[in-house]
Structure 1
Amino acid sequence: MMLSAPGLAPALRRAGAVLAVMLVAVPLAAWSDEARLVLHSATTGDHNFNVEVVDTPEGRAKGLMFRTELAPDAGMLFDFKQQREVAFWMQNTLIPLDMLFVGADGVIKTIHVNARPQDPTSIPSEVPVQFVLEIPGGRSVELGLKPGDTMQHDRVGEPLAN
């Protein structure tokens, strides 16, 4: 069907209204970089998490700063896109966090439990890693996670940057 010029404006308004309704109806999470992640514990089995993924310097710098809560099954996955030693701190972070330092192969290398809110002390990975997963403080102990356990996520196993 061809629209004449006089009929074009009303048709575009209707299409715009439909698009606006669609935009409101789709959850914001559909556009953010959120994903499912599974932690595999050798002693307690599988544990599902909803994670926000950050892989830019700006995103990694902000991290979970200024957040006042984090659901027990939520976290933030930092992807450095290459293996290297990294260090984190808790400056401007208001909630305790566990930090799981994970290699490119998805194996948990080291875990820092209950990082203290607003502590500027450096928390190093101690070994080269590609990922750091931050989850609520104490959750890694509750779930029985240990170095050698694994993390499953779409980004694990992707080719590394040079």
Structure 2
Amino acid sequence: MHLKTISFLIIFSLICLSHQSCRQESKTIKQTEVTFKKEADLTIYKSNTDSIIKKLDIELAETDYDIQTGLMYRDTMKENQGMLFIFEDETERFFYMKNTRFSLDLIYINANKKIVSFQKNAKPFDEASLPSNAPAKYVLEINAGMVDAWKVSVGDDINFTRN
């Protein structure tokens, strides 16, 4: 009888140990890395002189999926890169930074490709609304601080050419 109890305890202990070690194995799911894909060239022009402020390589967000995802899940973006959101209509826009890992400047642009407003230094992961405060057909996302560094102003123009 004593031998059965000892055998049972040994088997029970082995099962418990193997079960705990299986539970302690951590399974990490590696996220697919999203990389920049140049789809167009964009130029920002000073409105009063037509001089070039900055030339950028940009990705385009035109589909519902691309518009909803934007720059989410990316770690960085180069200074000469951006993402241009293209909408079918011109209306007030509301963006947020959910799942966006780095700060951005958002430039809101009307159907005539004139800059109508900004949201500067949008904080990573912040779900607060970032409104355009004016009708916009396009939204350009660039690295935070670039609007000020490049001295971009409301009324300046953009133009883009698809590759």
Instruction: Tell me which interval the TM-score lies in, with the shorter structure as reference length.
Output: 0.7 to 0.9
**Mapping 1:11-160, distance limit 5 Å:** 34-42=39-47, 45-154=52-161
Partners of 2:46 and 2:157 within 8 A in 1 = yes
**What do you get for the CA RMSD once the two structures are aligned?**
2.0
Partners of 2:43 and 2:52 within 8 A in 1 = no
Whole-angstrom distance in 1 between the partners of 2:143 and 2:161: 22
Amino acid at match of 2:84: L
Query: 1:72/1:33 Cα in 2 relative to 1: closer, same or farther (>3 Å)?
Result: closer
Partners of 1:41 and 1:144 within 8 A in 2 = no
Whole-angstrom distance in 1 between the partners of 2:46 and 2:145: 15
Aligned-pair distance for 1:96?
Answer: 0.3
SS in structure 1 at match of 2:151: coil
Aligned-pair distance for 1:141?
Answer: 0.5
Structure holding more strand per residue: 2
Amino acid at match of 2:158: M
Structure 2: give runs of 5+ residues left out of the alignment: 1-34
Structure 1: give runs of 5+ residues left out of the alignment: 1-27, 156-162
Partners of 1:52 and 1:75 within 8 A in 2 = yes
SS in structure 2 at match of 1:106: coil
Aligned-pair distance for 1:153?
Answer: 1.3
Match of 1:15 in 2: none
Aligned-pair distance for 1:127?
Answer: 1.0
Amino acid at match of 2:104: L
Amino acid at match of 1:138: G
Q: How many residues align?
A: 126
Aligned-pair distance for 1:45?
Answer: 3.5
Aligned-pair distance for 1:33?
Answer: 6.5
Aligned-pair distance for 1:66?
Answer: 1.0
Percent identity between the two aligned chains: 32
Bigger radius of gyration among the two: 2
> TM-score under structure 2 normalisation?
0.72
